[in-house]
A and B are shown apart, each in its own frame.
Chain A
Amino acid sequence: MRCAVSPALLAAVLVALASVAGAQPLVVKAGRVYTVSGEVIANGAVVIDGGKITAVGKAGVVPVPKGARTLEAAVATPGLIDAQTSVGLAGFYNVGADRDANEKTGPNQSALRALDAFNPDDPLLDHLLAHGVTLINTGPGPADPLAGQSGVFRTHGEVADEMAVKVPSALVVNLGEIPKATYGKREKLPSTRMGTAAVLRQSFLAGMEYERLRAAGGASKPDRDLAKETLGLVSRGRLPVILVAQRADDIVTALRIGREFNLRMALAGAAEGYLVRDRIRESGAPVLVGPVTQRVASPETFNASYENAALLADDRIRIAIRSGFDGYVPRAHIVLYEAAVAAANGLGFDAALRAITLAPAEILGIDDRFGSLEVGKSGDVVLFDGDPFEYTSHVEVVVVEGEPVYRRTPGAP
């Protein structure tokens, strides 16, 4: 029997059904729309349809699709991005059962993937979302020299694989006091900074060798090895490395190793970055600074400065702000608060907002989809009732892919 319904009519019905099913367009209006990629738009509007931004401009000028819902607030920004953290792995309760950020059973954990430990139900994810943080580059913590693979995940969602935006995002590598304390107390390698550097160099070498033999094929082709495979990707520049280093000499060691193995790399932490900014700038490596409120605590963070982000930015070093790993209370730092302190300590509003939006997106290679309010990007928008950096302002609504997934209740942040 010939089909009574024409394909065109069928398509139209399906589109209509899709709209009714919840993919309703959304218009976000704000007294100040911070696109980050361009100018601030006074009395602006951002239109989101099908989960993506379809228009940005002045409210009243920008065409609004039929049936669009409207949200309005004083200020709108792109969804905030934490450049490096361990939330989702370093569990909320900080007990054996939920501690999954630091393997500590061997110095080379390159095979480990954040994806396999990320817990979408960790309460800290909702806490971050309530502060406008829509994406986190999360992964292993500071205990192991080669700690494992980080990944960029949404803070809203139910299943890790669906929340994953980019996995793996980088290999996390740690220098300085913490990895050598982890193994040194068991009198294992590394127990010194030279031990840590040797472990790193041996591992990168092994990755290069593995790549060479796999490519050569034949009888001596090695069996598949997950750790060496990851290091092989690193050696080919296919996977970047995040090197966490606080003290000036550790930063220089990181750059030295980066040069030796031609690593695509970013520095992270970098409490004393401002003391060696010439070397950092020369290397071209970006820096995931922070947390900005890094405690003046251990010898390697003794010279931490609130002005670090500003001093690095002054030297035209690309920066993004990270929250880093938290071992106790508070169990997570919030990049919104961190950027605020950086803004108030020389970085200024615009650069600080960029450091938690477009800059981490660019550094992590996800700026095609995230980090600014531009047509074609994901409809991730945060609405505030005032200056986002003021302590006394609030996040009113968080929109993810065009859906309001968080609304403030009285007493909430």
Chain B
Amino acid sequence: MIAARGEPGLQRARTARRLAGCALALWLAAAPDARAQDTVFIGAKIYTGTGTTIDKGMIVVRRGKIASISSVGARAAPPGATVVDVTGKVIIPGLVDTHSHIGVYSRPNVPANADGDDPSKPIQADLRALDAINPDDPGIRMAQAGGVTTVNIMPGSGDPVGGQTAYVKLRGDTVDEMLILPVGVQGGMKMAGGENPKTTHGARKKQGPATRMGIAALQRELFIRAREYQEKTSGVLSSAKKPERDLALEAMVEVLERKRTVHYHCHRADDIMTALRLQDEFGFDLVLQHGTEAWLVAGEIAKRNVPVSIIVADSPGGKLEASRLRLDNGALLERAGVRVAIHSDDPINPSRLFLRLPALAVRGGMSENAALAAVTLEAAKILGLDSRIGSLAPGKDADLVVLSGPPFSVYTQVLQTWIEGELVFDRADPEQRRYATGGFAVGDRYPELEARP
């Protein structure tokens, strides 16, 4: 139907009308297919993640995004859409775990699977978690079964600078399919203070650092070298020869330019202050990770507007720096105006029971809204991904979890986990269910539970 070249204007106009007619016909033919790609969730109580709830809601998902979210009856469901009847169920945003070691410490925990801490030297800023993530780690399926959709997969805390973290969604067969940001800065920078780096490098390896002052000195030196590298590579010192490419310092320049967030593992109050002092000196985006004694220095943290991603554990102790772990840490920080997220530190806490952690924070006095935000929108903000995830709103990724009941009840099960409109976990599937309960590797030998009243 392409008009031949050189046709007179009238002919061109007729051709144009025919072209328009064809286009209209094609569009009409295509439109029902486009609408059939919609998925509609009807009838659940929806926690949007911004503090509001809809008692009986309708979510329309189109091409991986939330198209609309409203009360049932407020608008018609798009015709031809796939309907997911979630009457009587609860929907929350996909959970965001800001601190996990799934994929880099695959299960079972044998040396062959230990890829999260490289103790060969204390400063490992060029190492990238993405080069070690195993998408076949059963821990990833187990996390999906816990309603987790986005994870900050991190190196461990054995090194003062452990390496680059990876912000991933729990979907895909390769790490490239998991990474949220396909190019550019794809995660943060893991740093650690306190006992763990000392144990790895001082006590065991008899190389530095063996003290907290040793840890801080190495971290400061790295920042200083990064500044110098930044000056040399930006051509400020035009007379100097451009330096050889340095992967570690490249990543640290991203930190200095606030393109890459530092996730700093710290428990004790003085280790928290060391992290804040580093930030004061060099200026970078910082998240305090674990923050066991953050409640003790809440004022210092609040005045710098630094967020804290806290650890929740059944008991304090296990090491000296965890001896003042308190269930009301989240509550105290909330009251002090500190931004709080809650993470699993999988395998320390199981991702399958991720909702247990904000629930325990509520037990300790945190408000329900803040506790839910700590594993959804606030966590997303900490990762700089809140434009895409962390709450259910039009235009955001359709990452959502269908629950059998209220989010913080022990009796509630995760029924389904959806990522960008794709169902990645379905408890109704017997094989997938065994990632939620355990026993995923025993296949047919897994017995059936008697129905209980």
Binding site for B on A (CB under 8 A): 92-95, 123-124, 127, 274-275, 277, 293, 295-299, 302-308, 310-311, 314, 326, 328-334, 337, 340-341, 343-346, 348, 389-394, 410-413
Contacts and interface: CB of A to CB of B under 8 A. Distances in A.
B316 A298 contact: no
Interface stretch (B20-28, B86-94, B104-112, B273-281): B104-112
A345 B348 CA distance: 21
A123 B316 contact: yes
Contact of A307 (B326, B356, B437): B437
A297 B410 contact: no
A330 B318 CA distance: 6
30 contacts: A92-B316, A93-B317, A93-B319, A93-B320, A95-B320, A123-B317, A274-B447, A277-B447, A293-B350, A295-B347, A295-B350, A296-B107, A297-B109, A298-B108, A304-B438, A305-B438, A308-B438, A310-B450, A314-B450, A328-B319, A329-B318, A331-B317, A331-B318, A341-B353, A344-B410, A391-B356, A391-B363, A391-B408, A410-B328, A411-B327
A295 B328 CA distance: 25
A94 B320 CA distance: 8
A80 to B, nearest CB: 14
Interface residues of B, number: 51
Contacts of B450: 310, 314, 346
B384 to A, nearest CB: 28
B452 A346 contact: yes
Nearest to B320: A93
B316 A305 contact: no
Given A297-B108, A303-B438, A310 B138 contact: no
B208 interface: no
Nearest to A329: B318
A94 B199 CA distance: 13
A333 B314 contact: yes
Nearest to A327: B318
A296 B347 CA distance: 9
Contacts of A307: 437-439, 449
A344 B320 contact: no
Interface string B251-276: 00000000000000000000000000
Contact of B323 (A93, A341, A393): A93
Contacts of A305: 434, 437-439, 446
A333 B315 CA distance: 7
B362 A392 contact: yes
B370 to A, nearest CB: 14
B411 A411 contact: no
A329 B157 CA distance: 14
Given A94-B318, A302-B441, A346-B449, 12 more contacts: A94-B317, A123-B316, A277-B447, A297-B108, A304-B438, A310-B452, A328-B318, A329-B322, A332-B314, A389-B411, A392-B362, A393-B363
